[in-house]
């Protein structure tokens, strides 16, 4: 993931920017750059590869100045190169960015029509070009910046400077991390507070869509509707726990809110924006002869496999077998030489999953692992590794790793489907566009959590709960039940809603909360009739649907949470967010240990 740093000081900033960029290396990168402003001129150096290459350039041509920005780039749009490296500079504007600008093509087209020339393949350059355009239209720096931000869609953190304004940094964030740090006399901006350790003693964690204009005199902050607001400076004790949790009460909540950014990076390893296609980091040459795909995992990772079964059957038209590793490893199952076996594991160390992998070694065509820890045992024993790049997941209850696993499995689905020639150009674009829009939709849901808190306040008093889903939402019902039980200790079950009348409906009475996932798709009507069955027995229904689902219901006496509009392909990814929020707030109100729930370990490395 990219790393951002900005410094406003009364001494030369380049050496400190380089130090901070080194601390940001852990986020992964393939190029780096720094820009400063000196005597109303923009000075800039950028280099492909490691920071050492940038240092060599700076030693030959120094970067004077008491205000500067730096960036480590992890390529999303455009190959790793000096031209694509940040900071990007157009006219009097220079800036860095972390995340993805979803509507960059539209803006780039608009500006190109006006004669603007682009020199890079990045989405970032569009931000700088647009801001420069508004500047040239006569808007002052602040208005040009605000107007630019309003046009952008996607998940991003941005830091800009204007050459005629050596005293100010301009920043904003939307579903990507950015903090403002205050030292003795210097002011810092960074992707995370950890990289500013020992430089700062106070910090402001910006909220979604905050815009900050930072000078030594004042930090002006404007909210998403342009009102000037105050954000409290917090003192920062540099123990890792506090610093790593940032503004959040629990790691789990922080990781829930990291999902838009994590999803962006998990998919951008595979999305080739230029050719609008999915590239894989492995050739999968034998795929054309594969006649079965086996998916094996435990817990939440198994529910990701269950979602993938629906995707592979629908889009790849290949038989799929799924199983939990603890069962798979002991079954008298058999395997063919023309099969792929895919093992999904956040830790890459789960004993049952590793044992299942070792069972099929040499018996299937290839072993593929989808992991978060690429040097883990499961990864090391696989033929192919597909990393989910979710960053460390501290909370025992898996959240960002789950949606990142789905990100990789969704890309694999599109890739395999295209390999079989089963997607038209239009279908391929629609599926890819739905993945690109996912971080924005996640952010929208995460920005309004009142309804989840309200429902959790009631749910916390229950002893049991039922989650219902049909089709590809059935694994989400299972995952939602797991999330709730593992952190709130409330017994919960996930069920395919069509199964209700085959037994579970006997459980339904006025003490049974029934949370129903019902996107407006071809199974919606059937799901609603299951809801009617529950209502007829006084069950406490919470329906989670979308705009179309909501409008199709004539009247309803039960609470409904309406999600934003999105395509069917990403339903299982989007519904993970409400599942996580319901579980989190229920556990929060119950006061259980959310990050380390009783009896649980983050990685089950024993049988």
In the complex, what is the shortest distance from the CB of residue 423 to ligand AGP, in angstroms, rounded to a whole number?
29
Nearer to ligand AGP, 566 or 575 (CB): 575
In the complex, what is the shortest distance from the CB of residue 301 to ligand AGP, in angstroms, rounded to a whole number?
4
Q: Give the number of other Cβ atoms within 10 Å of residue 81's Cβ.
A: 16
Nearer to ligand AGP, 178 or 304 (CB): 304
Clarify whether 108 is annotated catalytic.
no
In the complex, what is the shortest distance from the CB of residue 500 to ligand AGP, in angstroms, rounded to a whole number?
25
Residue nearest to ligand AGP (CB): 299
- Which candidate in 2, 159, 411, 516 is catalytic? 2
Clarify whether 526 is annotated catalytic.
no
Give CA torsion, residues 248, 249, 254, 256, to 10 deg. Answer: -130
Report residue 289 CA to chain centroid gap: 33
| Peptide bond preceding 87 in cis form (omega within 30 of 0) | yes
Query: What's the token pair of residue 379?
Result: 């990864």
Query: What's the token pair of residue 531?
Result: 């809801």
* List of residues 6+ apart from 555 with CB closer than 8 A: none
3-state secondary structure 465-492: EEEEECHHHHHHHHHHHHHHHHHHCCEE
Q: Judging by DSSP bridges, how do beta strands 384-387 and 169-174 pair with one another?
A: unpaired
How many alpha carbons fall within 13 Å on the CB side of residue 455?
25
Own/partner pairs, 183-187, CB within 8 angstroms, 24+ separation: 185/9, 185/10, 186/7, 186/8, 186/9, 186/10, 186/11, 186/16, 187/7, 187/8, 187/9, 187/214, 187/216, 187/219
Nearer to ligand AGP, 33 or 597 (CB): 597
Q: Report how far residue 124's alpha carbon sits from residue 105's, in angstroms, rounded to the nearest whole number.
A: 11
Nearer to ligand AGP, 300 or 438 (CB): 300
What residue ranges bind ligand AGP (CB under 6 A)?
298-301, 345-347, 350, 353, 396-398, 486, 603-604
Q: Report how far residue 87's alpha carbon sits from residue 72's, in angstroms, rounded to the nearest whole number.
A: 9
Q: Report how far residue 475's alpha carbon sits from residue 320's, in angstroms, rounded to the nearest whole number.
A: 15
Cβ 351 vs Cβ 304: under 8 Å:
no
- Which candidate in 50, 359, 453, 602 is catalytic? 602
Q: Report how far residue 484's alpha carbon sits from residue 355's, in angstroms, rounded to the nearest whole number.
A: 28
SS3 425: helix
Nearer to ligand AGP, 179 or 396 (CB): 396
In the complex, what is the shortest distance from the CB of residue 305 to ligand AGP, in angstroms, rounded to a whole number?
10
Q: Give me the residue label for tokens 């069920």.
A: 495
Catalytic residue set: 2, 602
């Amino acid at each position: 993931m990219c790393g951002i740093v900005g410094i406003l000081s009364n001494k030369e900033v380049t050496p400190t920017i380089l130090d901070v960029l080194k601390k940001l290396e852990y986020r992964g990168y393939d190029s780096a750059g720094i820009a400063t402003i000196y005597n109303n001129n923009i000075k800039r150096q950028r280099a492909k590869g490691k920071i050492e290459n940038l240092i060599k350039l700076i030693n030959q041509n120094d970067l004077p100045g008491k205000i500067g920005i730096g960036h480590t780039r992890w390529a999303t749009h455009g190959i790793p190169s000096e031209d694509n490296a940040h900071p990007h500079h157009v006219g009097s504007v220079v800036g860095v960015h972390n995340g993805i600008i979803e509507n960059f093509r539209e803006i780039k087209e608009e500006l190109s029509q006006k004669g603007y020339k682009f020199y890079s393949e990045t989405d970032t350059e569009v931000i700088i070009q647009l801001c420069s355009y508004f500047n040239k239209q006569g808007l002052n720096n602040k208005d040009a910046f605000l107007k630019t931000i309003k046009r952008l869609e996607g998940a991003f953190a941005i830091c800009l400077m204007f050459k005629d304004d050596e005293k100010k940094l301009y920043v904003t964030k939307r579903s990507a991390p950015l903090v403002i740090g205050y030292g003795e006399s210097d002011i810092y901006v960074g992707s995370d507070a950890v990289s500013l350790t020992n430089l700062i003693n106070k910090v402001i964690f910006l909220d979604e869509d905050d815009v900050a204009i930072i000078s030594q005199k004042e930090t002006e902050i404007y909210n998403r509707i342009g009102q000037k607001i105050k954000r409290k400076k917090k003192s920062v004790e540099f123990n890792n726990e506090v610093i790593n949790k940032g503004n959040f009460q629990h790691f789990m909540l922080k990781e829930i809110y990291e999902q838009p950014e994590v999803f962006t990076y998990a998919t951008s390893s595979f999305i080739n924006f230029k050719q609008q296609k999915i590239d894989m980091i492995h050739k999968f040459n034998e795929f054309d002869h594969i006649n079965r795909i086996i998916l094996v995992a435990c817990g939440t990772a198994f529910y990701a496999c269950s979602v993938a079964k629906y995707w592979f059957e629908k889009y790849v038209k290949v038989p799929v077998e799924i199983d939990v590793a603890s069962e798979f490893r002991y079954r008298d199952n058999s395997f063919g030489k023309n099969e792929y076996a895919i093992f999904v594991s956040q830790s890459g160390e789960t004993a049952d999953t590793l044992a299942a992998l070792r069972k099929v070694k040499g018996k299937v065509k290839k072993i593929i692992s989808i992991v978060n820890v690429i040097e883990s045992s499961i990864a090391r024993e696989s033929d192919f590794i597909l990393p989910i790049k979710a960053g460390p997941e501290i909370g025992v209850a898996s959240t960002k790793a789950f949606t990142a696993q789905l990100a990789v499995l969704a890309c694999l689905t599109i890739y395999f489907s295209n390999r079989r020639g089963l997607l038209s150009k239009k279908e391929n674009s629609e599926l890819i566009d739905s993945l690109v829009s996912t971080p924005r939709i996640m952010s929208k849901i995460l920005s309004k959590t009142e309804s989840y808190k309200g429902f959790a306040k009631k749910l916390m008093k229950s002893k049991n709960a039922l989650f219902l889903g049909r089709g590809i939402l059935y694994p989400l019902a299972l995952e939602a039940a797991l999330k709730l039980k593992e952190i709130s200790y409330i017994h919960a079950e996930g069920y395919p809603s069509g199964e209700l009348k085959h037994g579970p409906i006997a459980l339904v009475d006025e003490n049974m909360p029934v949370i129903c996932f019902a996107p407006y798709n071809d199974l919606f009507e059937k799901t609603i009739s299951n809801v009617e069955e529950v209502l007829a027995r006084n069950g406490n229904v919470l329906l989670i649907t979308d705009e179309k689902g909501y409008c199709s219901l004539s009247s309803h006496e039960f609470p409904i949470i309406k999600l934003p509009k999105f395509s069917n392909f990403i339903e299982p990814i989007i519904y993970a967010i409400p599942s996580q929020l319901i579980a989190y707030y229920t556990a929060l109100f119950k006061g259980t240990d959310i990050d380390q729930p009783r009896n649980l370990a983050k990685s089950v490395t024993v049988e």
